[in-house]
Structures are given as structure tokens and as C-alpha cells.
Amino acid sequence: MTITLSTLNARYTHASLGLRYLLANMAELSDQTRIQEFVIGAKTTEIVERLLINHPRIIGFGVYIWNVEETTRVVAMLKRVAPQVTVVLGGPEVSHETADQEIIKLADYVVTGWGEVTFTAICRQILNGPQPLMKLHAGVQPPLAELKLPYSLYSDHDIAHRTLYVEASRGCPFKCEFCLSALDKTAWPFALDAFIGEMEALYARGARLFKFVDRTFNLNIKTSLKIMQFFLDKIAANPHDPVYAHFELVPDHLPDALKEGISKFPPGALQFEIGIQSFNPEVQALVSRRQDNAKAAENIRWLMEHSHAHLHVDLIAGLPGEDVASFARGFDQLVALGPHEIQFGILKRLRGTPIIRHTDNFGMVFDPYPPYTILATNLIDFGTMLRLVRFARYWDLVANSGRFTHTIGAMLGASPFENFMAFSDWMYGQTDATHRIALDRLAALVTRWLQVQGMAREDAVALVGRDYAGKLDGKAGPAIAAPQRQARHLAA
């Protein structure tokens, strides 16, 4: 193959939608182009060896915040052992603030922004001449109707074993300054009938897991309803063949027509990712986020009470103008609404995002290395920020994991943030670790914490035991350990 399209995915189960868009739009070069995906953590030498097996003339890399450091090592090695190979970069991580990036210095060409048209044009020039004169090329944004959709390029193996990413629209009309979508002028929809046809073809091939990457799925309610009806029709026709769809939802825009559609989905078929980020109106104004907090809370409450959708709701710590007390109030408010998961995120300074304009006024200090996490602000010092990072990790282990559904309420009490922060500080003092904590050890530590807080030993053992039984493997089912042995372990 003359051209190889490659990236390092965060997990094997992720299939790169971006690479498939590029391949779908390679026109006459498509027969000379192949996709070769890897996973972060693989050895650089092995990646380079596999990339060179087919002697490509051009290798195009998709570069993202999670893979830029490892991709830099891959490109550096490629230029040493195969300098004849032309390296072209694209992706959000190399589309902004390009002057100081080592990976850009190593590469031959870079496409910033949309890549489907411009990457193909650069490959034509490299192969046929004249050679491109500039290293940096601003990606041409074509009308979406001119793009060939990539979904037929998901292989049967992808369909059987990986998450299928799909998009009914691109862009976002909102201007939240911590998000790269703040740079978009609006949201652009794909032709709906053509998109539904592609989903129909995927379903016919066996696809049952669809993850929509649209930033604003419920922006156009007529479109949302038609897409949801597609899934409802499949569920009605094959009730014993489950379908699962994931959408990102604008929290304060849930009209009655959409509620009616959502209420028809059975358990296990629908997940919503809902970005609250902050409940503080002053902070929202600082980062140009428009949100009706009362309406957002009302909608989350409605979804919990009247739908079977699984809710994954996001908050961000470290935003300009927000101290720990303000974040805690928002966290407690969200806990009271009862979503299935609260994703406690730490602010990251993505390249190109307008959040940088607050750096001086709010004393914002970011890690210079990916993922560019906030280290301190004028309202949250470095030590406190690290406590928040640990809180987020332990929250995932205990609350978001679903393994302590009976126990978590007792841990949170009337002051969820304060009480879980106390647990987090205690956990770190006991373990000096936030990762590689085995489930049996975690359960024992939670049991001890309940006793530290005053719960009787036998009550703590019984409470955690209700969650612990049958969940050592993270799944509901028969208990793995005999009850007597389990009780002894928790009480140790």
C-alpha cells in the first residue's frame, strides 16, 4: 500500500472514526490506502516495524491529546529508520499552537482542522508533483453533502468487538471556552435520510452499539426524534436483540416531544452524557457557557424519574472563578438529583481553546505536558487540586463503578462532597495509591472507613457485603467467595 493511515487509540475497543473518514474520501487513491490502528502503551519499535511492513510512501497520523507523546516517539523513530517515508499529521492536537510542538518539527506536513479534502490533495501532490511548498496546510471545510460517509469501512470485526462512533452533525453553536468546539461557528447537520440509511446498513451487518459524537444531539428536536425512532423501531421488531445508543445531551433543552420519545426506550438501551460542568452562574458567564440551571436540574430529575436512560453527568473542577466551596455546592446539588454516574473531571487546557485568556487574571497554572491538566488557580492551590484529583479517582472506583450501590449512600450522608473528600483523604493516607487497588482490598477499606465514621463493625460488614457479593468481577451474579470467607475478609 502506498498510503497508510494510522493512530494510537486510547483502547482497543475504540475504532477511529477520523481515519475512516479520511479513507472514505481518498477518491482515486483509496485503493492504495489502508488503515493501521494501534493502542497507546504499545512499544514504539513494534509500531514502527508494523507500519513499515508494507513499505508505504506516505503515513498519515491522527494526533490527539491522549496519544501525542507516544506518536511523537513513533514519528521520531520513523524519520530515523525510514527517512524516505513522508509523514503527514492531522487531528486536534496539531491543529493549534503549532510553533512549539516537537512532533510538528519532525513531520513533513501538517493538516490543521478538517482533513478529508486537504489530506487527499496533499497525497496527490506528494505522489504526482509538484511537491507541497508549505509544511502547514489549513484544512478545507467542504459542505457535508460533499463528504462520503465512512460507515461501510467499519469491518465485521469492528462491528463485533468495538465501539462504533457515528455522527449526525458536526460542530457546536455554543462557545464554552474549555472546549475546542468553541471555535466552531455553528453545528452542521448531515443529510438525515442518508445518515439513517448508513445506520440501517450497520444494523443489518450486526451493529448494536452506536456512540454518537455529536456535541448537541438534541439541538434539532425533529432530527433527534427521527434518529431515536430508528432505534425504537429496531427494538420493537427485535425485543430480544438489544440495541444500545449513546448521545450527548444539552441539559436545559428537553421539550415534551423529546421526553415522550425517550420514555419509550426500555432499560439498557439508552445512555445520555450531560455536561453540567458548573452550577455557578458567575463561573458559567466567565467561560461563555449559556445554561438554565433550574431547567437543567429539572430535566435531569425528570429523566431519572420517568425514563430508563442511563445518565452520565459531567462536572469540571478548576474552572476560573470557582473555588472548592462553589464546586462542592454544585457537586452536592448534582448528587441530590441522583444520576447514575457523575464524571468528576479536572479542567484541561486543550490547545486552541479560549480558556487561556483567563490565565493571568485567575492565576491558572497548567501542566505543560498532555493532558495539560490544571495544577492550581488563584482560588485552589496545588495541594488542594491534587486532593480533588484523588477524589475524582476514588469516586470512579467507589461510586461510578456501580459496585457499592448500597454503601455509597451511607458514605455520602447529608454532605456528599465533604464526606467523600474525608474518605478520599483517608484512603490516600492508607494506601498512598490511586490505581491498582484490587476490588477485595477496596471493599475492605470501605468497610473500615464506615467503622471509622462510627458504624458498628457488624453493620459495616453487612452493608458492604450486600454490594461485594458477586461483584468481584464487576458483574452481578453468584457470589465468588463463600459468605463466611467474604465476611471475614471485609471485617479484617
Tell me the CATH number at 71: 3.40.50.280
Q: Are residues 77 and 182 in the same domain?
A: no
List, for residues 34-67, the tens digit of each pLDDT value: 999 999 999 999 999 999 999 999 999 999 999 9
Q: Are residues 288 and 308 in the same domain?
A: yes
Q: Are residues 201 and 73 in the same domain?
A: no
Percent of the chain with pLDDT over 70: 95
pLDDT at 479 over 60: no
Residue 372 resides in a domain: no
List, for residues 77-87, the tens digit of each pLDDT value: 999 999 999 99
**In the prediction, which pLDDT does 134 show?**
96
Average pLDDT over residues 464-483: 51
d(CA 23, CA 165) in angstroms, rounded, equals 15
d(CA 433, CA 443) in angstroms, rounded, equals 15
d(CA 352, CA 97) in angstroms, rounded, equals 6
Q: Are residues 74 and 137 in the same domain?
A: yes
d(CA 110, CA 118) in angstroms, rounded, equals 10
Residue 376 resides in a domain: no
Q: Are residues 357 and 274 in the same domain?
A: yes
Residue 373 resides in a domain: no
Q: Are residues 283 and 170 in the same domain?
A: yes
Average pLDDT over residues 400-404: 94
**In the prediction, which pLDDT does 469 show?**
72
Q: What is the CATH number of the domain that holds 265?
A: 3.80.30.20
Last residue of a domain, one of 115, 144, 173: 144
Phi, psi of 357 (to 5 degrees): -70, -15
* Parent domain of 263: 154-361
Is 332 in a helix, a strand, or coil?
helix
Last residue of a domain, one of 144, 172, 203: 144
List, for residues 83-114, the tens digit of each pLDDT value: 999 999 999 999 999 999 999 999 999 999 99
List, for residues 247-301, the tens digit of each pLDDT value: 999 999 999 999 999 999 999 999 999 999 999 999 999 999 999 999 999 999 9
**In the prediction, which pLDDT does 470 show?**
47
Residue 439 resides in a domain: yes
- Buried/exposed code over 269-303 (b: 16+ C-beta within 10 A; e: otherwise): bbbbbbbbbbbbeebbebbebebebeebbebbeeb
Q: Are residues 202 and 335 in the same domain?
A: yes
**Angle of helix 416-431 versus helix 439-452 axis, rounded to 10:** 120
Number of domains comprising the chain = 3
Residue 193 resides in a domain: yes
**In the prediction, which pLDDT does 490 show?**
55
One-letter amino acid at 346 equals I
| Cα–Cα–Cα angle for 286, 288, 293, rounded to 5 degrees | 90
Q: Are residues 168 and 45 in the same domain?
A: no
List, for residues 336-391, the tens digit of each pLDDT value: 999 999 999 999 999 999 999 999 999 999 999 999 999 999 999 999 999 999 99
d(CA 248, CA 237) in angstroms, rounded, equals 26
Q: Among 177-181, 451-455, 465-469, 478-482, which is the least confidently predicted range? A: 478-482
**In the prediction, which pLDDT does 475 show?**
39
Last residue of a domain, one of 89, 122, 144: 144
Residue 419 resides in a domain: yes
Q: Are residues 183 and 329 in the same domain?
A: yes
User: Please, are residues 242 and 265 in contact by the beta-carbon 8 Å criterion?
Assistant: no
Q: Which residues pair with 14 in a beta bridge?
A: 163
Q: Which helix (H) or strand (E) holds 62?
A: strand 58-62
**In the prediction, which pLDDT does 103 show?**
98
d(CA 26, CA 244) in angstroms, rounded, equals 31
Q: Are residues 169 and 315 in the same domain?
A: yes
Q: Are residues 174 and 36 in the same domain?
A: no
User: Please, are residues 378 and 289 in contact by the beta-carbon 8 Å criterion?
Assistant: no
pLDDT at 477 over 80: no
Whether the bond into 371 is cis, omega within 30 of 0 = yes
**In the prediction, which pLDDT does 173 show?**
87
Residue 390 resides in a domain: no
Q: Are residues 342 and 480 in the same domain?
A: no
List, for residues 142-184, the tens digit of each pLDDT value: 999 999 999 999 999 999 999 999 999 999 988 999 999 888 8
Q: What is the mean pLDDT of the chain?
A: 93
One-letter amino acid at 276 equals I
Residue 446 resides in a domain: yes
Q: How far is CA 17 from the centre of its chain?
A: 14
Is 135 in a helix, a strand, or coil?
coil
Residue whose C-alpha cell is 477485595:
440
